[in-house]
Structure 1
Amino acid sequence: MDPLEDVLTLTAATGHLSTSMAAGGRWGLRFTPLDGVKFNAIRRGACQLRVDGLADPIALTAGDCFLLTRPVPFELARDDDVPVEPADPVFRAAIDGVARAGTGDEVALIGGRFSFRGRARALLLDGLPPVIYVPGATPEADAVHWAIDRIEHEVRRAQIGSTLVAEHLAVVMLIQVLRFHLATTAAPASGWLAGLTDPVVGPALRAMHARPADRWSVETLADTAAVSRSTLAARFRALVGKGPLDYLTGWRIELAADRLRRGDGTLASIARDVGYGSESALSVAFKRVTGASPAAYRASSLT
């Protein structure tokens, strides 16, 4: 696995489709914040996205999609001067899986959200901007469009297993949007995401994720990246915000925390598998990073 696959697997990213939406005339809806990540794709027409905390609206047209990575209120509306109404009653009144706003159906959207398990915000979401906007006209968005097309196809056909297929396709769409963001943004993210496409930091990250239990040092990681120790250390800290061995410690603790949540193995076997020579060494590092002992963390996860 690469680091992005590792994190999405560890956080158990799951797609949940919401009711589709059709709108026309002068309309505007205000949505309450949701945990996780909200997404929408514009299938027909045009509208505006306004997100609390962002100064400027985003003009959306057919083929565009967006992710909201923070649980903040947002609005979708036809124009700037249109008053908005709460979205919840409109969606509760949906008929045949379609919520209708205003009059007509010049605009059509399909959307949903992604939920995550464990420490997803610290691992993934805090490193992303509040909104990731994917313009439909960009060539890099083709893979995103494919996933959305397939989601809509499954929703419309409503065959056996369509909901499950569509939700798995939504996770495919999430990966494609993150790829798009990393490939097209000059400063794609902070934290480990910022290093994925870097020629110096990327190889070191992939090596640590591939073999977290190895006895890594800055020197051996620098050899993997084919640079000097000082170059790797400086570049890693500049992009990721911490040194490579501090990052390695954090990732090992995330792996251990996942095993503890699932009740998978003894503390001794977990310590060995994530790169610690003893239970006590893991316990000290675990408490330093999470604030709880492994035993207390496991107990709280099972309640």
Structure 2
Amino acid sequence: MDVLAELLDGTRARGGLFHQLLVSPPWSLRVQDGAPLALYTLLRGGGWITPAEGPPVRLDEGDVAVVCGPDPYVVADEPWPAGRTPQLVIHPDDTCTTPDGTPLCAELALGVRTWGQGTEGGARLVNGTYLLGGEVSGRLLAALPPVLVVRARACPCPVLPMVAEEVVRDAPGQQAVLDRLLDLMLISTLRAWFDRPGGQPPAWYRAQADPVVGPALRHLHADPARAWTVGALAAAVGVSRAALARRFTELVGEPPIAYLTGWRMDLAADLLREPGATVGAVARRVGYASAFALSTAFKRHRGVAPSAYRTGAPATAG
């Protein structure tokens, strides 16, 4: 499995939310749901996304925006100045209120996953939201700006017509359909973003195209529990130990075993949150001989013991 696919696997939608909003200017909503990742597109009209930090980003018809949480942001028909009160507020429990807390979900409901003012000539905004982010996706999220936009004129999103049709349907298996559409939107948008002219994709993405480092990364991600050494990895890709170490560090920014350790810690963090997981079982799945060995490495890398992390204690990246 390639690196992007592995990272996206930890961001796979499971019960993701889709909404359609029909509005006419002036319109504005503050999103403070704490979600790690959300996608927005305007099937009609235009708007702006104003993150908590950084300049507002224009969104035109057919563009797709990826917004990284959990910080709140404002989506509106115009750039939103700091301190100005929006019309609507979106909360973590997927409820919509006025800024003073008055519920509005029932008043704005227009049909299946559709809210707003019911205007025909206004903007038609669709968004999909990932509710939970596994730690495996942390390396991906760290590579993204608060808001990124892929322009329709440069790279039209191939799944938008299907999204427009499915978001208002209520058929058997609909949640599974919407989850997969959300994943497809994210994958196609990120690939277009990373591959755009003049783009600066993360080192691990660029390195996948290298004839030496690319295969090495795929080996590490395919079998992270294996007792890899630089020599074994070099033999697997058919180069000398010194050549692999030099090339890998140059392109990825860290030596092969340091990269593997970080990836194992990301995997362990995700596995520790699974129901019924034990530190010993997780240790074996990510290449450590015992719970003690994993605990030592995890605490050194994350700043908290695995047992404490599993119960929700805050961690600091090593």
CA distance in 1, matches of 2:14, 2:285: 26
- Are 2:173 and 1:172 equivalent residues in the alignment? no
Shift of 1:121: 5.9
Cα distance change of structure 1 residues 231 and 81 upon mapping to structure 2, 3 Å threshold? same
Q: CA RMSD in A?
A: 3.4
Shift of 1:246: 0.9
CA distance in 2, matches of 1:19, 1:153: 12
- Are 2:17 and 1:17 equivalent residues in the alignment? yes
Cα distance change of structure 1 residues 66 and 47 upon mapping to structure 2, 3 Å threshold? same
Corresponding position of 2:48: 48
Corresponding position of 1:87: 88
Cα deviations by residue, 1:12-69 (Å, 9 ceiling, x for unpaired):
5436334311233x414142333211211111122333334223x4333221110111
Corresponding position of 2:229: 217
Shift of 1:296: 4.2
Q: Contact 2:43 / 2:125 at 8 angstroms: preserved in 1? A: yes
Cα distance change of structure 1 residues 81 and 232 upon mapping to structure 2, 3 Å threshold? same
Q: How does 1:35-184 map to 2 (within 5 A)?
A: 35-55=35-55, 57-79=56-78, 85-88=86-89, 89=97, 92=105, 93-97=107-111, 98-100=114-116, 105-119=121-135, 122-139=138-155, 141=156, 144-146=157-159, 148-184=160-196
The one-letter code matched in structure 1 to 2:131 is: S
The one-letter code matched in structure 2 to 1:63 is: G
The gaps in structure 1 that reach 5 residues or longer are none
The SS at the match of 1:68 is strand
Cα distance change of structure 1 residues 172 and 254 upon mapping to structure 2, 3 Å threshold? same
CA distance in 2, matches of 1:213, 1:80: 48
TM-score if structure 2 supplies the norm length? Answer: 0.76
Shift of 1:210: 0.7
CA distance in 2, matches of 1:174, 1:39: 7
Q: How does 1:198-217 map to 2 (within 5 A)?
A: 198-217=210-229
The SS at the match of 1:19 is strand
Of 243-252 and 68-77, more deviation after overlay is shown by 68-77
The SS at the match of 2:192 is helix
Shift of 1:110: 0.8
The one-letter code matched in structure 2 to 1:290 is: R
Corresponding position of 1:253: 265
The SS at the match of 2:184 is helix
Shift of 1:196: 3.7
The SS at the match of 2:158 is helix
CA distance in 1, matches of 2:88, 2:205: 33
Cα deviations by residue, 1:173-227 (Å, 9 ceiling, x for unpaired):
1122222222226454446445344444332211101111223222343455555
The one-letter code matched in structure 1 to 2:54 is: L
Corresponding position of 2:93: none
The one-letter code matched in structure 1 to 2:74 is: E
Q: Contact 1:63 / 1:145 at 8 angstroms: preserved in 2? A: no
TM-score if structure 1 supplies the norm length? Answer: 0.79
Shift of 1:153: 1.3
Corresponding position of 1:29: 28
Q: Contact 1:30 / 1:87 at 8 angstroms: preserved in 2? A: yes
Shift of 1:245: 0.6
Q: Contact 1:134 / 1:177 at 8 angstroms: preserved in 2? A: yes
Identity %: 34
Q: Contact 1:49 / 1:59 at 8 angstroms: preserved in 2? A: yes
CA distance in 2, matches of 1:127, 1:153: 31
CA distance in 1, matches of 2:147, 2:193: 11
Cα distance change of structure 1 residues 8 and 15 upon mapping to structure 2, 3 Å threshold? farther
Shift of 1:270: 4.0
Q: How many pairs does the alignment contain?
A: 295
Q: Contact 1:31 / 1:74 at 8 angstroms: preserved in 2? A: yes
CA distance in 1, matches of 2:306, 2:299: 7
Q: How does 1:267-286 map to 2 (within 5 A)?
A: 267-286=279-298
